[in-house]
């Protein structure tokens, strides 16, 4: 059902291997370019596995910068 080793988000959407599915504010899906990442509550950023989002400070809990969900152009993963 999913090409290669893609990460399934639900029954119709998936993200590339090595990334994480995160919900968008609109209820769709976006891909965080980190494996097993933590999706932040702002629906825009993500942090490495095991870290905690601090959206107000723009950091993950170890002080690293927040990582954006998408590289380049974000493509909707919702089925038409």
pLDDT tens, 40-72?
888 888 888 888 888 888 888 775 666 654 433
CATH number for position 52 = 2.10.25
Residue 18 lies in a domain: yes
pLDDT value for 75: 37
* Domain range for 33: 7-68
Residue 74 lies in a domain: no
Residue 75 lies in a domain: no
Residue 79 lies in a domain: no
Q: In sequence order, what DSSP letters do the residues of 19-74 get, joined into one string?
A: -EEEE-TTS-EEEESSTTPEEPTTSSEEE-TT--EETTTTEETTSPBPEES-SSS-
Residue 78 lies in a domain: no
Residue 73 lies in a domain: no
Residue 77 lies in a domain: no
Of residues 19 and 59, which shows the higher confidence score?
A: 19
Total domains, the chain:
1
Reported pTM: 0.73
């Amino acid at each position: 059902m999913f090409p290669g080793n893609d990460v399934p988000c639900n029954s119709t959407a998936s993200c590339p291997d090595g990334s994480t599915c995160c919900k968008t504010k609109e209820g769709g899906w976006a891909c965080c370019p980190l494996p097993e990442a933590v999706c932040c509550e702002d629906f825009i950023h993500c942090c490495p596995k095991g870290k905690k989002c601090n959206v107000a400070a723009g950091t993950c809990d170890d002080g690293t910068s927040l990582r954006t969900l998408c590289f380049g152009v974000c493509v909707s993963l919702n089925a038409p």
